[in-house]
Amino acid sequence: MRFIGVDLGTSSVKLLLMDEKGSIKNIVTKEYPISFPKPGWSEQNPEDWYSALCEGLKELVKEEEKSQVKGISFSGQMHGMVILDKEDRVIRPAILWNDGRTGEECDYLNGTIGREKISAYTGNMALTGFTAPKLLWVKKHEPDNFIRINKVMLPKDYIAYCLSGVHSTDVSDASGMLLFNVKEKCWSKEMLDIVGLQEEQMAKVYESFEITGTIKEELAKELGFPLDCKIIAGGGDQAVAAVGTGTVGSGMCNVSLGTSGVVFVASKDYSEIKDNALHVFAHADGKYHFMGVMLSAAASNKWWMDEILKTKKYGEEQEGIIKLGKNNVFFLPYLMGERTPHNNPDARGTFIGMTMDTSREDMTQAVLEGVAFALRDSFEIIKATGLSIDRIRINGGGAKSPLWCKIIANVLNVKVDKINSEEGPAFGAAILAAVGCGEYKTVEEAAGELIQVTETTEPEAEIAALYDKKYEVFKEIYPTLVPVYSKMAQAQD
C-alpha cells in the first residue's frame, strides 16, 4: 500500500510517498510565488497551491504504484485566510501567516474586547498572524468581499477541498484561527459573533487522522488513483511535524532548531497558560499540545556566520569552543523581535558582557547559548504546567551541530535524541494517512513503530549546574532592556 503526505509550505509544496512500513519511496517539491503588495503584507493565490499539488502528484507516483494509493493527508502553513463565495470560488488572495497588517485588529481584540475574554473563548490571545484579525481587516477595508464570504478555510484545507469537494478542517489547524474553542474542540460562537460570521460559514471540524471524504472521481481517473482513495484531514504544520518526529502522547517534547525555534510538548490534557505565554492548541494525535516559538534560532547563527564573520565554515568556527558553562558573554537572539514568551516586536539582538579578552570563539559560543537560553524560556513555562520532561527530540538545520546539541542538552538539563527521519511535516502527514486508512490503530502506535532514536546526547551534571547559574543572569537582561528597546523603536520612527 502507498500513502501520500502533502506539506503545503509558504514557498513550496512537498509531496512524500510512503509504504505501510514507513519506507519513503519518493519525494517531489513544487514551488509557487508569494506576493508582497505592501510593506508587511504577504499573500498567495490559492489556485497556485492546487496547480502545484496536481503537478506534484503526477510526478510522485510511478505507474505501477498508482493503484496502491490508499490515502492522502496534509500538513499546512497555519493561520492563512482563504475565503470562498457561494460558487466556491476564491474571493481574494490568501492573507498568509506572516502578514503583519492586522495590528489595529489585534489591539481591538486584546484591548477593547479584552485579552482575558479572548483567551477564555479560544485558549489564546490575538496575534497578527492569526485568522480572526485578518477577517476583521477584510470586514473593515474590503466590505464587499466580506459580505460574499460563504466559507472560511485554511490553506491546506483548500487543497483538500479541491481533491474531495468537502469543506473540512482539523482541530490542530483550527486552533490557530482564534475562532476555535480549543478546550472543547468546537467553533467559538462568541468569537464568530465578534467577527460577524455564522458557524455555517466555517468548515466541518475533524480530528487530524479522520477521513473527510474520498478523491473526486474525475480526478482519480486523471491521476490513475483508486476511486476509493481516502482524504484524511491532516493538521497544522507544527502538529504534523511533531507526528513525524514521534512527539505524541503525553510529555513528549520536540525542539525544532530551524530558522525559527519551536519547543513543542504533547499533552493528554488541556491546560491554560498564564498570560498566554505559550500557544495551547489541539494536537494531531487527538489530544493537546503546548508550543513556544522564538523567531530567530538557527537564523541567529546564520546571521552571525554569514553577515558578521563572513564565512560558511560553520563547523570550523565551533571547533575552538570548549569552556561550556563558563562563557561570560551573553547574546539575546531577538534579531526579528520575539514571540515567546515576550511577544515584543521591538526587542533586538544584543551582546553583553564583552571584555578586552573576549575572543571570536566566545562570541560564537554566546550566539549558540543565547538561542538555547531562549528555548529554555519556553521550556520553563511548560514545566510549570506540571509536565515532567527528561528528554527531548531535536530536528532542524541547527541539530546537525553536535556542539549545539550538547549545549542544549546541558542548558535544558535533558537528554537530546536524534531520530531516523528528517522529513517532519510531509512524513507526519503520510503517517496520518496510514492511520486514517486503518493501517495503524492510533497515531501513537504508528509513531512508535515507524520512528526510532538513532543518537542521544546526555547532559553532564557539572556543566548543567554552571548553565543554571548563567540562565539566572540571562533572565535578567531582557526586562532590564525593555525600556531601551522601546526608545530605540521610537527613535527609528
Angstrom distance (rounded) from CA 397 to CA 419 = 14
Provide the pairing of β-strand 69-76 with 235-236: parallel
Dihedral of the CA atoms 54, 55, 59, 64 (nearest 10)?
A: 40
Task: Classify 62 as helix, strand or coil.
Answer: coil
Strand partners, 205: 169
E strand map for 306-445: 330-332, 350-352, 391-395, 415-419
Angstrom distance (rounded) from CA 24 to CA 422 = 11
Angstrom distance (rounded) from CA 492 to CA 488 = 6
Dihedral over Cα of 468, 258, 134, 345: its sign: positive
Of 70, 82, 173, 62, the C-alpha closest to 134 is 82
Q: Which residues are annotated as a binding site for substrate?
A: 78-79
Task: Classify 64 as helix, strand or coil.
Answer: helix
* All cell numbers assigned to 229: 482513495
Phi and psi at residue 190, to the nearest 5°: -60, -45
Dihedral of the CA atoms 439, 443, 448, 454 (nearest 10)?
A: 110
Active site residue 237: yes
Annotate 372-395 with DSSP letters as a single string: HHHHHHHHHHHHTTT----EEEEE
Which one of 237, 362, 377, 417 is the catalytic residue?
Answer: 237
Please classify residue 141 by burial: count the beta carbons closer than 10 Å to its beta carbon, then call 0-12 exposed, 13-18 middle and 19+ buried. Answer: exposed
* All cell numbers assigned to 235: 493538521
What distance lies between CA 274 and its chain's CA centroid? Answer: 21
Annotate 272-320 with DSSP letters as a single string: --GGG-SEEEE-TTSSEEEEEEES-SHHHHHIIIIIIS--S-HHHHHTT
Q: Which residues contact 410 (CB under 8 A, 6 or more apart)?
A: 324, 325, 459, 460, 463, 464, 467
Active site residues: 237
